[in-house]
């Protein structure tokens, strides 16, 4: 895929997008007497959804782009319900996304030659995206199941045309309904017999979070309530803090000023890594976005991936900058506080005393100013939250390449991060292309490459670097304390010797020795304490341990991916396992990081 250059001034807002998937019966379970009513109900559904999405777009215009909402229909284009939904949605201006259980020409054999097969190819020609899944006729039930799961995996609302009967087999309508219920998707039931009005069934309609799986147990609402359902799916978080943090993120600006260098200098001083000139360079969102987009499937359209890549570039660049800035700030605070103590001690040794006191006051003022600016510019939050955005988008791309989405919170998202990422992933839609032959190899390779990169990053960078930094700072602190102890013991022994020998030092020499010992006894422990504070706030040992656990878990997933037989459902499960592991690492890191803010030593 070509590089993406945006040069935007702020992180991108998502375009309001919503996908409707359809599952339902083929003509053999659609009575002729009820087909007109079914078509009418489907038409009413799309009219209601369109109206609801437009209302939501107007209501939440501050967090979405001004572009018209991106409405899409996900249909496998089987005869009967699938095509009724596809035709009705196209008439309402929806885009059509088509996951096929087999290669298109193989799947076309499901339909009799003539008008039905011609209609199939005609609808394919009108589709925005067509994804051919690696189904085989020798295991066609598995193929139909995979196709149905793909429809559900791409959907925000599921339109179901159902007669209330049992499933006709693996991947049948009833089985897919149960899967949709377990997933937490809102379902709009259209009676296949045309005798009952459409209704909405959804766990999200329950007054409390209940694990309901039986269709009859689910709360229901009439179709007229679809506006509330759509609103709950797309609205941003209601909590004031979440709204504020989302607004702050969307108003971030490009910052080309050099990045603070205290933390890279600490790494060099500890012998962990050398200081590079690039440590001062401002992270470039466009360059990071281009790297992200390059990992997308070659068959993906640039405009499909562009906004997600741009959001990744912005969040990653912001997280990198603010992480180094925050770390530099707390390193400076602890070291300047220690230097202030050393200066106070030095003022006892040599004149002019006012010089050292002035320098001490300047160090204290620098710490106060640094802390005040850090709080005002919110470096800590602007590191932690964008880092989670970037990691969530990172794991979404391999799943998208496999024709599915990350698992998201059903209904209203409680956090702005989850809401923002979900909105961007919705905008991606279904990828085009195939998951057979070379395309299968590339999609699997994309996941393998991500896993290898993450394993190498944890094993060769994070774990050894954080272990060395923690150990060497700890060792330096111990050396300072033992040096202080040694100086104090030597002084005591020297004083004892003078007393036993009956001799004494001159007044000036005695004062110099006393003040030197006092300066060392105050200064070195202050530096050791500062190093301990840096270790505590930096949580280097904790990062190393969490990184090691993540490396072990991802290594296992990588080994499984490489040894598994070709199976799309299994590979998707592996991709989700990898995503859960990577996001689990973020989830365990974030509370630890958030509890260690910038404060006075």
**Tell me: the pLDDT tens digits for 346-383?**
887 777 788 989 999 999 999 999 999 999 999 999 99
Look at residue 224 and give its three-state secondary structure.
helix
At 152, list the tokens. 């559900």
Top CATH class, 17-234? alpha beta
Average pLDDT over residues 514-536: 92
Q: Where does the pLDDT of residue 277 fall: very low under 50, low under 70, confident under 90, or very high at 90 and above?
A: confident
Residue with tokens 């004083």: 495
Q: What's the CA gap between 359 and 132, in Å, rounded?
A: 71
Q: In the chain, which residues fall in CATH 3.40.50.450? A: 17-234
- Partnered with residue 243 across adjacent β-strands are none
- The pLDDT score that the predictor gives to residue 211 is 63
Would you call 168 helix, strand, or coil by DSSP?
coil
What confidence category does residue 212 fall into, taking pLDDT thresholds of 50, 70 and 90? low
469, 512 contact by CB (below 8 A): no
Euclidean distance between CA atoms 417 and 309, whole angstroms: 16
Q: Which H/E stretch holds residue 130?
A: strand 129-132
| pLDDT at residue 418 tops 70 | yes
On the question of pLDDT at 103 being above 90, the answer is yes
Run of H or E residues at 19 = strand 17-24
Which stretches of 80-139 are DSSP H helices?
A: 81-91, 104-107, 115-126
Q: State pTM to two decimals.
A: 0.92
What the block records as the tokens of 250 is 């969307």
Whether pLDDT at 7 is above 70:
no
The residue assigned the tokens 């039905």 is: 116
Quick one: residue 114, left, alpha or beta (phi over 0 = left, psi -120 to 50 = alpha)? left
β-bridge pairing 220-222 and 199-201: antiparallel
Structure tokens at 389: 């955005």
Question: How far, in Å, CA of 548 to CA of 455, rounded?
Answer: 9
Q: What dihedral do alpha carbons 372, 374, 380, 382 form, nearest 10°?
A: 120
State the CB neighbour count (10 A cutoff) for residue 235: 16
pLDDT at 416 over 80: yes
Averaged over 132-152, what is the pLDDT?
95
Rounded CA separation 494/514 (Å): 11
Give pLDDT, residue 514: 82
Rounded to an integer, what distance in angstroms lies between the CA atom of residue 26 and that of residue 82?
8
Contact 558, 444 (CB under 8 A): no
Residue with tokens 């070291």, as numbered in its chain = 335
pLDDT value, residue 172: 87
Residues present in the chain in total = 601
Paired strand residues for 21: 74, 158
């Amino acid at each position: 895929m070509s590089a993406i250059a945006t040069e935007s001034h702020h992180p991108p807002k998502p375009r309001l997008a919503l996908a409707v998937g359809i599952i339902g019966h083929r003509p053999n379970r659609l009575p002729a007497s009820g087909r007109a009513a079914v078509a009418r109900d489907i038409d009413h559904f799309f009219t209601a959804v369109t109206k609801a999405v437009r209302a939501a777009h107007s209501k939440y215009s501050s967090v979405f782009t001004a572009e018209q909402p991106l409405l899409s229909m996900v249909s496998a284009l089987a005869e009967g319900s699938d095509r009724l939904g596809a035709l009705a949605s196209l008439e309402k201006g929806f885009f059509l996304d088509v996951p096929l259980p087999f290669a298109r020409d193989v799947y076309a054999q499901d339909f009799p030659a003539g008008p039905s097969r011609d209609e199939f190819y005609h609808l394919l020609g009108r589709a925005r995206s067509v994804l051919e899944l690696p189904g085989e006729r020798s295991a066609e039930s598995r193929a139909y199941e995979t196709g149905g799961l793909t429809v559900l995996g791409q959907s925000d609302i599921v339109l179901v045309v159902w007669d209330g009967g049992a499933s006709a087999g693996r991947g049948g309508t009833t089985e897919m309904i149960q899967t949709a219920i377990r997933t937490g998707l809102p379902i709009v039931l259209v009676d296949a017999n045309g005798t009952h009005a459409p209704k909405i069934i959804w766990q999200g309609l329950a007054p409390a979070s209940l694990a309901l799986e039986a269709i009859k147990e689910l709360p229901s609402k009439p179709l007229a309530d679809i506006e509330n359902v759509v609103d709950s799916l797309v609205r941003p978080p209601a909590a004031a803090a979440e709204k504020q943090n989302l607004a702050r993120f969307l108003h971030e600006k490009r910052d080309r000023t050099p990045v603070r260098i205290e933390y890279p200098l600490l790494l060099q001083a500890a012998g962990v890594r050398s200081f590079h000139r690039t440590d001062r360079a401002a992270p470039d969102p466009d360059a990071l976005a281009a790297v992200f987009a390059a990992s997308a499937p070659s068959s993906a359209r640039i405009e499909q991936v562009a906004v997600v890549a741009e959001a990744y570039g912005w969040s990653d660049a912001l997280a990198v900058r603010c992480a180094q800035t925050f770390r530099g700030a707390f390193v400076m605070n602890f070291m300047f506080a220690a230097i202030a103590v050393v200066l106070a001690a030095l003022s006892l040794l040599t004149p002019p005393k006012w010089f050292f006191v002035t320098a001490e006051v300047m160090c204290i003022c620098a710490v106060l100013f640094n802390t005040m600016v850090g709080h005002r510019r919110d470096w800590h939050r602007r590191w932690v939250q964008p880092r989670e955005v970037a990691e969530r988008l990172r794991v979404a791309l391999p799943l998208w390449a496999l024709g599915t989405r990350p698992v998201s919170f059903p209904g209203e998202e409680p956090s702005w991060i989850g809401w923002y990422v979900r909105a961007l992933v919705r905008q991606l839609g279904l990828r085009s292309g195939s998951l057979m032959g070379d395309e299968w190899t590339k999609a699997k390779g994309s996941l393998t490459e991500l896993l290898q990169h993450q394993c190498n990053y944890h094993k060769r960078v994070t774990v050894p670097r954080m272990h060395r930094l923690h150990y060497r700072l700890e060792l330096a602190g111990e050396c300072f304390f033992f040096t202080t102890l040694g100086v104090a013991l030597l002084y005591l022994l020297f004083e004892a010797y003078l007393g036993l020998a009956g001799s004494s030092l001159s007044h000036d020499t005695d004062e110099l020795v006393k003040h030197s010992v006092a300066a060392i006894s105050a200064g070195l422990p202050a530096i050791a304490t500062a190093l301990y504070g840096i270790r505590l706030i930096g949580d280097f040992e904790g990062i190393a341990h969490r990184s090691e656990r993540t490396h072990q878990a991802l290594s296992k997933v990588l080994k499984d991916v490489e040894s598994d037989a070709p199976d799309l459902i299994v590979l998707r499960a592996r991709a989700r396992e990898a995503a859960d592991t990577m996001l689990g690492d973020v989830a365990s890191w974030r509370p630890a990081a958030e509890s260690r803010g910038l404060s006075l030593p």
